[in-house]
């Protein structure tokens, strides 16, 4: 079976699973874990957009 | 010349979190089967989420034609890749037995797949360390 993901979708899937593990392992209470997971996910995806725009600007 | 110590209270202090059998078994089981360490410690929700996350990353990595590193890579980066891959525990050994990930595809997707495989293993190492902390009582 072959999975074809674009660079962006691969980055989002990566961010999703990494954020779940970070949330569970780095915080104690359930609420803190959810918050930290969402925070990590936002940072991952925000980083993707930031890097994307930076590369687009460099390319011009 | 150093004076001989006269302090009689040199007995090792009692550790705050004594090492228990479960503190050794849980991370080992968690490494072998992702999330199983947490399930063993009755953290069912966390265990299932960890299992799904690590297994999904590993399978997506294989699906993207990611390469599985072997222990005798020779190159330093290959050895580091192997350390990352082996973090997935039983999934890594299963992949080696069934000859999955034995590809040399040179495209971007395969490169992402390789990264997914390595990161799945590294995340599982973190999860196993977390199971150790829970078993010790450092974390609820």
Model pLDDT for residues A9-42, shown as the tens digit of each residue: 999 999 999 999 999 999 999 999 999 999 999 9
pLDDT recorded at residue B12: 65
> Chain B residue closest to A11 (CA)?
B112
Please report residues of B whose CB lies closer than 8 A to that of A17: 53-54, 56-57, 120, 123
Please report residues of B whose CB lies closer than 8 A to that of A19: none
3-state secondary structure of A50: helix
Round to whole Å and give the CA distance between B60 and B51: 14
Round to whole Å and give the CA distance between B35 and A15: 19
Contact map slice: B 52-71 vs A, CB within 8 A: 53-54, 56-57, 60, 63-65
pLDDT surpasses 70 at B9: no
Distant-in-sequence, close-in-space partners of A54: CB < 8 Å, separation ≥ 6 = none
Residue B67 is given by DSSP the state P
Residue B71: CA count within 13 A, CB half-sphere:
5
Round to whole Å and give the CA distance between B108 and B123: 22
- Contact between chains at B129 and A25 (C-beta distance less than 8 A): yes
Average per-residue pLDDT in chain B? 90
What A48-54 contacts at long range (C-beta under 8 Å, 24+ apart), as own/partner pairs, is A48/A8, A48/A11, A48/A12, A48/A15, A52/A8
pLDDT recorded at residue B1: 45
Q: What is the pTM of this model?
A: 0.89
pLDDT surpasses 70 at A3: yes
- Contact between chains at B63 and A1 (C-beta distance less than 8 A): yes
Question: Among positive and negative, which fits the CA dihedral B35, B37, B42, B43?
Answer: negative
Model pLDDT for residues B13-22, shown as the tens digit of each residue: 777 888 999 9
């Amino acid at each position: 079976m072959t999975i074809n993901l674009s660079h962006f979708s691969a980055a989002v899937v990566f961010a999703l699973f990494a954020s779940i593990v970070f949330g569970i392992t780095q915080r104690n209470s359930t609420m803190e874990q959810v918050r930290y997971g969402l925070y990590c996910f936002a940072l991952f995806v925000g980083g993707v957009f930031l890097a994307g725009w930076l590369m687009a600007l460099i390319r011009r | 010349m150093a004076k001989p110590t006269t302090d009689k209270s040199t007995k090792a202090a009692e550790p705050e979190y004594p090492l228990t059998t479960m503190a050794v078994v849980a991370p080992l089981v968690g490494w072998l089967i992702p999330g199983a360490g947490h399930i063993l410690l009755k953290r069912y929700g966390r265990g299932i989420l960890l299992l799904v996350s690590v297994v999904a990353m590993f399978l997506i990595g294989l699906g993207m034609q990611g390469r599985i590193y072997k222990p005798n890579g020779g190159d330093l980066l290959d050895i580091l890749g192997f350390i990352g891959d082996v973090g997935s525990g039983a999934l890594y050994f299963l992949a080696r037995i069934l000859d999955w990930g034995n590809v040399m595809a040179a495209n971007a997707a395969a490169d992402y797949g390789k990264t997914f495989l390595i990161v799945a293993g590294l995340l599982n190492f973190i999860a196993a360390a977390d199971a150790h902390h829970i078993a010790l009582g450092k974390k609820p």
